[in-house]
Structures are given as C-alpha cells and as structure tokens.
Amino acid sequence: MGFPGTWMTESESVVYRVVPKCACSSIGQIMYYSDHGEFFDGDIHDAQNGMHKWAFEGSQELISENVTGHKSYAFTCVRNPYTRILSSFFDKICGIQRNGKRYRGNLVPLLIQKYGIEVGSPEDDFEFDQIKSFRRFLLFARDTIRWRRPMDPDIHWSAMSGHISTFIVNGGSYDNIFWTEEFNDGMQSVLDAIETPVKVKLKDVPRFNESEGHGPKRAHPVEDYFDDLSMHLVYEIYKKDFHLFRYDFENPGNKMPTGEIDLDEVHAKLGS
C-alpha cells in the first residue's frame, strides 16, 4: 500500500500527507518554496519535479524510508466537514476544471441524469438552485461512500480520516495536525519545528486557491445548505472527522474547531 498522497521536500525537511480540499495547494507551494526560494509556476499538483511525491516511482523508496523511520517532521491539515463538502461541490461538480472541461468527464452528466442535479454554466452565469442541487449531490456522495455506487468515492469528498489513516496504518506517525481555519498559526507551528534551506515568511506567502474563479460563487451562508436531513447525511459520512478533529456537528454555521486535536487519540483510532 505504501504512502499514497504523501509529499516530501527534496531536502527531506518535512513530510506532508495531502488531504484534498484542505489548503493543499498553499501547503505544497510553501514546501516547494522552502527548498527552492521560489514558488512553482502553476498548480503545485502538476509539478513533476522539485518535490518528492508518492505518485512518482522514483520518490517512493525515499518517502517509505523517511516515513517508516520517522526521519522528518510529518504533518497534515484538516477542515470543517461542512465547508469541505460544500467546497467540493462548487469546485468539482459545478466548476470548470484547469483543462477547460468538466471534472471526470461523464460525472456531471451522470449526476444530472441520476440525481436531478443542476450545475449551471459560464454562459448562464451559473444560474441554478444551489441549495436544492447541493442536497442532491450529498445523496450521491453518501451513495459513493456507503455503497461505492454509482462509482467509487472521490478523494475530494471521501472522509479526511480515511486519507489520514493510510499514513498511520502503513507505519507513519504525525507530529502535527492543524486546522485550515487557523492556517497561519498551524503552518507557522510546522515551520518553527523544522529546518528549511530557505526561510519562509508566512505573511509574504500569497494564498494559492487553485479552484477559485472556475465556477459559481456560493450564494448563501453555509448553514442554509444543510437542513436536518443534510446534517444527518453529513454526520453519517464524516462522523469520525467531526469527533477526531473537534468540529461542531450541531451547528453548520460554526466552522471553527471546538477543542484541541489529540494526536494520541488520532493514532489509536485511525491506526487499527
């Protein structure tokens, strides 16, 4: 199995387990900069060199040795499940992707046909009933996660605990898990704990949101998208995420964590 979704700087100063929709573009660019003194020109997910990624065959042995020997500081970043699934919907389902096409080719037509979802288009300025469509998307996301149909769950809406657990189960351990909602404090705590070839001043780092501007803007407050049934579905999918990463299930409008993450608990519950 190894360490899918794991990135490591070439200097091996730090190891990061990517969790989609949790500031991964910003984190990847900061790691790249900390080795090279410049940001990658483009989306860091497209970078083919300048960083070790598990997806590269030539990086796998280095990453494996580092992670199993815990040679470098290892971290990841999480996000409120309510805002994360909303972000996935607007980016991946409604948005036009970097290649100018819809995400995963026939996925959106499938959702329109099987779940009655509308997504709008750039031509009509993405005019559609966002709340109704999002709630139908939630049913689809639940079906993919619970029953793996009509397709396997996508990495952008599968639970964070699932991504994070593969790292632990296969022999890694985390030194830090921080929240997207307190990004600067969390990322600074990582930078304070490691030695990098190039010093990073977080206040000078631009925000890299590669999904922005490719789809509709969210027209309502977060809580308006979640009625009682939607909240039930979200809890069914992300129960572990709420508990382990201390997010407030009762109030979709509160994106902030409610307590500290217990790393020992995360390792115990996700490592078995």
| Segment 177-191, tens digit of pLDDT | 999 999 999 999 999
pLDDT of residue 60: 98
Residue 186 lies in a domain: yes
- 269, part of any domain: yes
Q: Answer yes or no: is 68 within a domain.
A: yes
213 band by pLDDT with thresholds 50, 70 and 90: low
Does 68 score more than 70 pLDDT? Answer: yes
What is this structure's pTM?
A: 0.95
pLDDT tens column, 82-120? 999 999 999 999 998 888 899 998 999 999 999 999 998
| 81 domain residue, yes or no | yes
CA gyration radius for the chain? Answer: 19
Compute the distance between CA of residue 187 and CA of residue 83 in angstroms, rounded to an integer: 20
pLDDT-based confidence at residue 211 (cuts at 50, 70, 90): low
| Distance of alpha carbon 203 from alpha carbon 207, whole angstroms | 10
- Residue 8 falls within a domain, yes or no? yes
pLDDT at 220: 97
Average pLDDT in the chain: 95
Within a domain: 128? no
When pLDDT is averaged across residues 18-31 and rounded to a whole number, the result is 97
Q: Provide the CA 142 distance to its chain's centre, in angstroms.
A: 17
Domain limits at 260? 1-98+156-213+238-272
Q: What does the alpha-carbon distance between residue 59 and residue 63 come to, in Å, rounded to a whole number?
A: 6
State how many domains the chain has: 1
**Residue 98: what pLDDT?**
82
Is 148 a domain residue?
Answer: no
Closest CA to 240 of 138, 158, 137: 158
Whether residue 7 is contained in a domain is answered as: yes
